[in-house]
Amino acid sequence: MDKNESMIDLSRFFKTIKINFIGIIICGIVGLVLSLVVSFFMITPKYESTVDILVNQKSGNSAMQFNMQQADLQAINTYKDVLKKSVILTPVLKEVRKKDNYQGNFKDLQESIKITNQTNSQVISVTVTDENAYIATDIANTIGKVFTREIKKMMQVDNVTVVTKASVNTNPISPKKKLNALIGLVLGLMLGMIFVVIRDLCDTTVKNQEFLSDELNLFNLGSLYHMKSDTQNYRVVEIVEDMDDTNGVNRRRV
């Protein structure tokens, strides 16, 4: 395909889009409405709540304090692993079932917890996700309470404290309604454009004389338009001539 053919195809594409512009916009609006319906009525909102736990041993000796700090940093990976084990989550599950009528099982509780820690930071953040903002907060605070109690028994150290309790956040983290609306709008517009382009490519209807000469290499000799009387109907007759330069033969078709 040469440059001229590419320009012709591109101009045809934009012409098709322009002709079907209103239909494409309608497809975009339909996609937007569907995404909003799904976001508001079909996806259950989820909420997050976070408790921050500090790992830190104190010592009056400055030299010892540095060594203890390094030991705490090395212990954080162990603490992060312990936080999702049954030794912590089993008593947490028992307590939140009693207090909040939590309906999930151990696996549900385990999957709802996300543990993060910044590099060289002695703070461990435990984030809980749930369909109820108040239950998510209670679970997070219960984890912090149970962990600080049980880790003393397990490690024989008193270096864990809750520095920031979880608070109720009634702003859902999902679904992201604005993002979903934008995605629905864009997908609707794209599907609309794809549809009109495919329909145009599959349309073999002769719409004008330019199509005969440019696409089919035929020459228009004349036209007889539709006429109607009380007794007879007359159809349009197109007289075209095939421009076959290779054989030097002109074939007429009616």
In this structure, the answer to whether residues 58 and 140 fall within a common structural domain is: yes
In this structure, the answer to whether residues 63 and 15 fall within a common structural domain is: no
In this structure, the answer to whether residues 228 and 153 fall within a common structural domain is: no
The answer, yes or no, to whether residue 103 has pLDDT greater than 70, is: yes
Average pLDDT of the segment spanning 68-97: 87
Last residue of a domain, one of 140, 164, 188: 164
Angle between helices 86-100 and 133-155 (to 10 degrees): 140
Global pTM reads 0.68
pLDDT, greater one: 180 or 7: 180
C-alpha span between 126 and 46 (Å, rounded):
16
pLDDT 10s digits, 149-204: 998 888 777 778 899 999 999 999 999 999 999 999 999 999 999 998 888 778 76
Q: How far is CA 14 from the centre of its chain?
A: 29
Q: Is residue 67 part of a domain?
A: yes
Which DSSP string do the residues of 211-227 spell out, in sequence order?
Answer: HHHHTS-EEEEEEE--E
- Confidence tier at 221 by pLDDT (50, 70, 90): low
Place of tokens 């692993």: 81
The pLDDT value given to residue 110: 94
The answer, yes or no, to whether residue 248 has pLDDT greater than 70, is: no
How many Cα atoms sit within 13 Å of 172 on the Cβ side? 14
Burial class of 151 by CB neighbour count within 10 A (0 to 12, 13 to 18, 19+): buried
The answer, yes or no, to whether residue 20 has pLDDT greater than 70, is: yes
